[in-house]
Amino acid sequence: MVVRLLKSIHFDFIRIPHTMTSGMSSSMSSTGETERNSQSILQGQQGSGRSSALKNSQQLKRAAYICAFVFCLQALLGAVDADPVLASSLGFCKNVPVLKGAPLHCCLPAPKRTPIRFKFPLIPRNLAGRLFLRERKPAHVVQKDPEYVRKYNLAYARMKALPDTDPRSFLNQWRVHCSFCNEAFKQRKTPGPLGQETGVPLQVHYSWTFLPWHRIYLYYHERILASLINDPTFALPFWNWDNQLDQDAAMIPAMFLPNFSVPNAALFDEFRNPNHMPPKILQLGYNSKLEAEGKQNLTDKQIRYENLCVMYNQVATKISARDFLGGPYVVGTDNSAATVNVSAGEVPGESGGMENAHNVAHEWTGLINDPNHPDNEDMGNFIYAARDPIFYSHHSNVDRLWDVWKTIPDKVTKSGSRKRMDYTSRDFLDTEFTFYDENQDMVIVKVRDSLDSSKLGYKFTDVSKSDNMWIYYEPMPPHQSSGPSNSSDYPAAAPSGYNYIGTDPVSFRLDRRAPTSEDARQSGVKNVDQLQENVVLEKVKIPHLEYARFDVFINYPAANRQTHLYMSEYVGTFTHLPSGMVDMSKSVSESSSNSNDEFRIVTIRYSVNAALKRLGITDYNTDIIVTIVSKGARNSGRKTGFTFSDLKQDFQ
């Protein structure tokens, strides 16, 4: 038991970067210093074959002693071994830039009372003593219940009627998303309303904070709606856009549209793509550029196959917390910065598979390819998205998929026995967020409070029949031309150099190696057979205010923008939605899009175990060809492509 605990602490030290901005280290506790020492020891030890075996074993011993020491300290003091981001104070809020019009003010009203700590709700029990959980139902089903739509609409009508000074108002609910998703606030490093700020912008996308933050956001949003109609049993619907079984599930649910059978004006939003109204179904392989060129001509059946394949690659093949939830986010992580110094311990933004899939639904729903709306409002831009009531229903489905993900059997690792679990590090669990509750109180909530939806008092209607269609999806057989024989014709990526992704697809050779026990140890799994192999695009430079999409194929260099995603060679998608963090001293326009301040740096992971198996690649000596198909930025105003620093293989 103790050994296991030590091991888990040990892993956390290695995996979690402690990015320290200048001036911060002075107030580090001695525990923090110890931890950084042990981290560097372990990093040195994993570094390569450079250190001698003797040195290794000494370092291991030292590391073990330090771990044991820190473990005892923790036990004694209940101290935190980590650098979790703490609840933001609401000072230092800045306006958020957009492409068209003046920067937006989306700062929140100040709390009227002292902020309180989150407590789990008391969950009622039925006569048989079983917990009564509110049920979030599929939108395409629950919209057939006029009483539900009446209440749902009434709740939003009342929310929209609240004054601007009330944090429960619809405008302020939008502001919560706009501010925390667009770096309007700064990270804090010391607790309390007057705690010290780090100077680093706070961002809840592009990392492991994405799913927990949005879950708690929806939890309070739902509580507020429920209290406004005095119905504690009220639950949000979920827009079941991954469902390819029910005819209308992936369409924009009719209750959000005009001319519905029950009054629904409060659920309507005018800034939605007029070309994507029912009976059009949401397309997870959506490419707005192809659509603008009139070349996106798939049948509904093809769209549904692509959707299954995208869900399969973005959710079902993701087995580690990192691949599904996203990369670490700790004090000092600045995933809005245009430069990332990895050797100084800084980490770039890293969205998980779920976040990338969810972005597409945003882009597809918002206005795009409309020159009067370069910001793709509402859903197509994080800044505006939460102005559309459908946003909350969309995220309710994302929230549901997080629960579903944990139940998916392991069909992707060699062992077939790996359980899908959330991160267990304290950096993750103790990360704090700030929300307003239904009583207008500011509440500080920790990530650890968000991991079990039933403890928050709700559950989702079981739609496993449609889930299983993508969980057990089998892509089409590989192309004839697939094969590793010609991988030497392609260049490897220039390491830590300048690699370019233009409008035409680019292919690189990726030299592979076998996983080691060190890889297993770092990922916290027992042996190498439980690892997922990934293709990793490192430090991709993405403009803050633009849409981007990269689809990746292995051993199919002929792939292009029109290659179907239900092919065996397709391994996943990266998407970026516009969100604002630019240097406000510079003008924000298409023409200035080369200014360095307008980019963020992200790492993108594609999980390939299942694809390698389909392609008959069973060893680790075979190199592969990785083809990156950029589906371009929006409005084709952008001439330059994207750059990345390296293409790597990694195991999680």
Tell me: does residue 218 bind ligand C2O (CB under 6 A): no
The two tokens of residue 157 are: 């009508």
Comparison of 189 and 205: residue with beta carbon closer to ligand C2O: 205
Alpha helices in 386-493 (DSSP H): 390-405, 426-429, 464-471
In this structure, what are the phi and psi dihedrals at residue 446, rounded to the nearest 5 degrees? -100, 155
For ligand C2O, what does the binding mask look like between residues 591 and 630, x meaning CB under 6 A? ----------------------------------------
Residue 206: partners with Cβ closer than 8 Å, 6 or more residues away: 326, 327, 329, 335, 349, 350, 351, 355, 600, 602
Q: Minimal distance in Å, beta carbon 335 to ligand C2O?
A: 14
Q: Could you give the CA distance from residue 378 to residue 381 in angstroms, rounded to a whole number? A: 6
Tell me: does residue 15 bind ligand C2O (CB under 6 A): no
Tell me: does residue 137 bind ligand C2O (CB under 6 A): no
Tell me: does residue 541 bind ligand C2O (CB under 6 A): no
Strands 533-543, 646-651: pairing is: antiparallel
Q: Minimal distance in Å, beta carbon 176 to ligand C2O?
A: 10
Nearest to 139 by CA among 309, 274, 282, 270: 282
Per the CB < 8 A criterion, the answer to whether 543 and 643 are in contact is no
Q: What angle do CA 16, 209, 93 make, to 5 degrees?
A: 110
Nearest to 581 by CA among 188, 185, 189: 185
Comparison of 18 and 358: residue with beta carbon closer to ligand C2O: 358
DSSP class per residue in 463-508: -HHHHHHHHT--PPPPPTT--STTGGGSPBPPTTS-EEE-SS-EEE
Q: Minimal distance in Å, beta carbon 583 to ligand C2O?
A: 23
Find the binder of ligand C2O among 205, 318, 448, 576 (CB under 6 A): 205
328-367 binders of ligand C2O (CB under 6 A): 358, 362
Tell me: does residue 177 bind ligand C2O (CB under 6 A): yes
Comparison of 380 and 515: residue with beta carbon closer to ligand C2O: 380
- Name the strand (E) or helix (H) holding 388: none
Comparison of 382 and 405: residue with beta carbon closer to ligand C2O: 382
Comparison of 310 and 412: residue with beta carbon closer to ligand C2O: 310
Count of alpha carbons within 13 angstroms of residue 238, beta-carbon side: 25
* Gyration radius (Cα) of the chain, Å: 24
Find the binder of ligand C2O among 181, 211, 308, 647 (CB under 6 A): 181
Cα–chain-centroid distance for residue 467?
20
Tell me: does residue 188 bind ligand C2O (CB under 6 A): no
Tell me: does residue 401 bind ligand C2O (CB under 6 A): no
Could you tell me the CA-to-CA distances from 595 to 96, 542, 586, 592 in Å, in that order?
17, 12, 8, 6
Q: Minimal distance in Å, beta carbon 376 to ligand C2O?
A: 13
Q: Minimal distance in Å, beta carbon 326 to ligand C2O?
A: 12
Comparison of 15 and 177: residue with beta carbon closer to ligand C2O: 177
Comparison of 214 and 289: residue with beta carbon closer to ligand C2O: 214
In this structure, what are the phi and psi dihedrals at residue 435, rounded to the nearest 5 degrees? -140, 165
Query: Count of residues binding ligand C2O (CB under 6 A)?
Result: 9
Q: Minimal distance in Å, beta carbon 401 to ligand C2O?
A: 12
Comparison of 545 and 615: residue with beta carbon closer to ligand C2O: 545
Strands 442-446, 116-117: pairing is: parallel
Tell me: does residue 400 bind ligand C2O (CB under 6 A): no
Q: Minimal distance in Å, beta carbon 70 to ligand C2O?
A: 35
Nearest to 363 by CA among 261, 423, 288, 419: 288
Comparison of 168 and 205: residue with beta carbon closer to ligand C2O: 205
Q: Minimal distance in Å, beta carbon 99 to ligand C2O?
A: 18
Q: Could you give the CA distance from residue 166 to residue 175 in angstroms, rounded to a whole number? A: 12
Comparison of 362 and 549: residue with beta carbon closer to ligand C2O: 362
The two tokens of residue 584 are: 């406000």
Comparison of 205 and 561: residue with beta carbon closer to ligand C2O: 205
Tell me: does residue 509 bind ligand C2O (CB under 6 A): no
Nearest to 168 by CA among 248, 88, 222, 114: 222
Nearest to 206 by CA among 395, 316, 355: 355
Q: Minimal distance in Å, beta carbon 465 to ligand C2O?
A: 26
Comparison of 35 and 355: residue with beta carbon closer to ligand C2O: 355
| Shortest-Cβ-distance residue relative to ligand C2O | 181
Cα–chain-centroid distance for residue 57?
38
Tell me: does residue 382 bind ligand C2O (CB under 6 A): yes
Tell me: does residue 544 bind ligand C2O (CB under 6 A): no
Q: Which residues bind ligand C2O (CB under 6 A)?
A: 177, 181, 205, 214, 358, 362, 382, 385, 395
